[in-house]
Structure 1
Amino acid sequence: MLMHPYLDIPYNPRLKNFLGGFDTYDREESLGVELSGYDPECPSDRDYLIFRFIVNRFSGLSYRHKFVLFNMLGDTLESDVSIFIEAFEHDPLIPSLLPLGWSNMKNPRAFFEDIYIKLSEVWLNDLCKAGREDRSTW
């Protein structure tokens, strides 16, 4: 079983893991201000945001972790749109906060579809390498 890269628990990523780089909780005056200059629904802004805050954030993961994360996203993209809306909703019990207005995104699925496309390009070699392995040995 593939273990979490930083904790002694099985690695079971969730959709919200992709949004961690956008967490402005206690950083409203730095990261929050920076992110307010971008529109996550604008394709060129979204491309920049995905590369800077997702691709770069996960660059240190092993090829196996990237494979599991990528496949979880692919499986989730087959789901109902409500799961994407929920990913952007604020949970008052968790100390995290996405940029103002992101919870009102018109097409949250498109945001995750673009993540999937970008990661399929950037992680191509890692995904191929992991795909050739027997995952039962992880």
Structure 2
Amino acid sequence: MLLDPYLNQPHLPKLSYWVGSFGVYDREETLGEELNKYDPNDPVDRDLLIRRYCLRLLPRETFHHRSAEFDLLEQTLGAPDFDFASVWEDDEDDFHDYWSWPSDWPEITDPRGFFQAIRDTAEEVWHEDLLRSKLPSLQSCREIPERDLGTCDWLFSVGNSQEWKSVFNLAVTPSDLKTPGPVFHKDGFTLSIEGPINHLIFRPSHWPPSTAFTYCELDASVSGISELEFRGSQFAGQLRGVLTRLKVGYYLRMEIGFDCVIECVALHVNIANVVGSYQSKSC
């Protein structure tokens, strides 16, 4: 169940969410003066108001909340008889729906058009958030039938070949990677990875074994995570992973070190800073 970002109760999307940031009650001399500079019926001003105020990101709001509000807006726009002017009407009996609009603002001449513009701009600005909200659950990804994975080349066989190819020409894949552990950040994490290259596949004839790289280093990044679970205590050490491409995004499962398991569903998994060398190093 999606909870309200500020109250311990179910989150109930409302159309007033989109225009509530224009309410100047008790802020007439601050926000009111600022908003009075703009005409909500002017296309240029309307676009600025939507981007700066309607699509503001609240501190505790997640992409799930934004998606729920967007879905309600899109559903309502699909009802040709809905009266969008009613959303702008003050309800003095309900504090939460009493906004007190800027004093110099004219009546909105095209209420439906205003909300349609919000919808179109939100789809552009919140594109990644809306995609994340549609990713499958972690539990459903765990039910994907197992497949023959062959070697441990999970990063190199699913949509990440260019960085690797520029150094190794897709001729080799490492099978014993190690990492000092992930660094978590907002909506994702990064990994520094290195290991020996001891598995050759389709090595070009002009590559003598003596001149081929024997060691690799790279950085992996996972971003746009919609769901993440991790357990264990030893996050450093040997890395064994499975990366599955979904219709949109990826399902990633990694076993690291002695007992660490990281699982997530994310929009992006990429490798960068690929370096090949001739001598093994210790992780």
The normalised TM-score by structure 1 is: 0.87
Cα pair distance change 1:44/1:58, threshold 3 Å: farther
| Aligned mates of 1:101, 1:36 — CA distance in 2 | 6
Q: 1:100, CA displacement in angstroms?
A: 3.1
Distance in 2 between the 1:18 and 1:58 partners?
Answer: 12
| Counterpart residue number, 2:133 | 130
Residues 1:13 and 2:16 aligned together: no
2: CA distance, partners of 1:37 / 1:111: 18
Q: Pick one of 118, 121, 141 that aligns with 1:115.
A: 118
2:54 maps to 54
Cα distance per residue 1:64-96 (max 9 Å; x no partner):
1111111011011123241x1111111122353
State which structure, 1 or 2, has the greater radius of gyration over its C-alpha atoms.
Answer: 2
Equivalent runs, 1:1-138 vs 2, <5 Å: 1-58=1-58, 61-79=61-79, 80-82=81-83, 84-93=84-93, 94=95, 95-100=98-103, 104-134=107-137
Label 1:59 to 1:90 Cα distance change in 2 as closer, same or farther (>3 A): same
Count residues with an aligned counterpart: 135
1:97-121 CA-partner distances (Å, limit 9, x unpaired): 1223657211011111111111101
Q: Percent identity?
A: 37
Q: Which has the higher helix share?
A: 1
> Bigger relative contact order, structure 1 or 2, given CA contacts below 8 A and separation 6+?
1
Structure 2: which 5+ runs fail to align? 141-283
RMSD: 2.2
**Structure 1 unaligned blocks of 5 or more:** none
Measured in 1, the distance between the counterparts of 2:82 and 2:105 equals: 15
Bigger strand fraction = 2
